[in-house]
Amino acid sequence: MRRLLLALAALLAIAVGPVACVSDDASSLSLEDAVGQMLLIGFRGTSLDDEFAGLLDELAPGAVILFDYDGPSGGEQVRNIVSPEQVKVLTAALQEASERGLLIAIDAEGGFVNRLKEVYGFDVQLPSHLTLGAGTASETEALAGASARQLSELGINWNLAPVVDVNVYPESPAIGYWERSFSADPGVVSEHAAAFARAHHDQGVVSTLKHFPGHGSAVGDTHLGVTDVTDSFVRDDELAPYRQLIDDGYDDVVMTAHVVNRNLDPSARPATLSRPIVTDLLRGELDFDGVILSDDMQMGAILEEYSLETAAIEAIKAGVDVILIANQNTYDLDHVRRIKAAIISAVERGEISRERIDESVERILALKRRYGLYEQ
């Protein structure tokens, strides 16, 4: 019966369109609900089943992320994307089950990083960043606009793109090799990233600059293990796209990298866990006041050195607002429970202040308000 009701609610939501949900500010939320807003989580299933509906009710996450392929099972388990109509029903059901308006995220960079493949029936196929960067910014804006329009029509309101890593090392195993950088020229990266983000904003889709402070020079892959860019990072070039876009008013989301850069933080912490990089550099020097998102906390660069709980706490202390648990390297929804419980416990024992939580949550709610997901 619950599934039937959720399906009917999803169909109704499709018919009437997106509806903003309840209105609060951060300080009016319970600690449990406030911390929930700071979670972006991945899950299995092409529909809202009882297990995940129960998890949404239990953990009240502020955001979910969709994938077409399940990494932990090598594709044997079904993930979230089968067809356009199925995705529309799923996103509508997710919104109906969420009390405060849900950010529904996807990696739709284009090229190799594409969850909405033609084989599933999706019409818009965006070229890679490298291909876009070889053309004009107006062409990038038009193509990205078509992709963003497709996302919006599917009920997906957050794209974890564009990549603004400068192509310092074209064979970088996480960036250059997969054509995920617009260019080796920071000016070209800035111009195309701005066009990409602008196109998404015009379609009501949140964009994300990644991977701060820069992953384009890395000879290693943070998905697999610790990656040190101390000797390869070109500070002026790799920070230039962030500096330019933020100066021009960009205020959606920036995703952190898990790279180690001793020139920016002598303690050798991954950038995601580094207060000198997240708060002093991104918030302070670059004056970014939008939402800061971690890269996936289940990646090798984190778990080689830290527990999930410690990493989440340290990321928040560093200045991160949203913790990503994609469940793509390993699948365990209990990881989400553990991270949320650890953050709450850190607040209760005074390691993290409630004011620090509220700072992040207010940024998240402000982003949702701007995109019509949340009423003030």
Q: What is the pLDDT of residues 242-283, one digit of tens each?
A: 999 999 999 999 999 999 999 999 999 999 999 999 999 999
**Res 238: pLDDT:** 98
Predicted pLDDT of residue 15: 39
E-assigned strand segments in 96-196: 103-106, 108-110, 113-114, 158-159
> Across all residues in the chain, what is the average pLDDT?
92
d(CA 183, CA 181): 6
Rounded Cα distance, 103 and 125, in Å: 23
As a whole number, mean pLDDT of residues 122-147 equals 98
Asked if 192 and 182 touch (Cβ cutoff 8 Å), the reply is yes
Beta-sheet pairing, 108-110 with 113-114 = antiparallel
Task: Tell me the C-alpha distance between 65 and 51, whole Å.
Answer: 16
Task: Tally Cβ neighbours within 10 Å of residue 162.
Answer: 31
Q: Please count the CA atoms within 13 angstroms of the CA of 223 that sit on its side-chain side.
A: 10
Taking the C-alpha atoms of residue 109 and residue 66, their distance in angstroms, rounded to an integer, is 14
Q: Which residue is associated with the tokens 């919006």?
A: 152
Contact 150, 81 (CB under 8 A): no
The structure tokens listed for 143 are: 């193509």
Average pLDDT over residues 161-180: 96
Predicted TM-score of the model (pTM)? 0.93
Catalytic residues: 223, 295
pLDDT at 23: 52
Question: How much of the chain, in percent, has pLDDT values that exceed 90?
Answer: 85
- At residue 180, does pLDDT exceed 80? yes
Beta-bridged to residue 65, according to DSSP, are 42, 105
> What is the signed CA dihedral for 244, 150, 46, 342, rounded to 10 degrees?
20
Give the alpha-carbon dihedral of 193, 109, 37, 202, to 10 degrees: 50
pLDDT, one tens digit per residue, over 214-230 is 999 998 677 766 789 99
Separation between Cα atoms, residue 69 and residue 282, nearest integer Å: 33
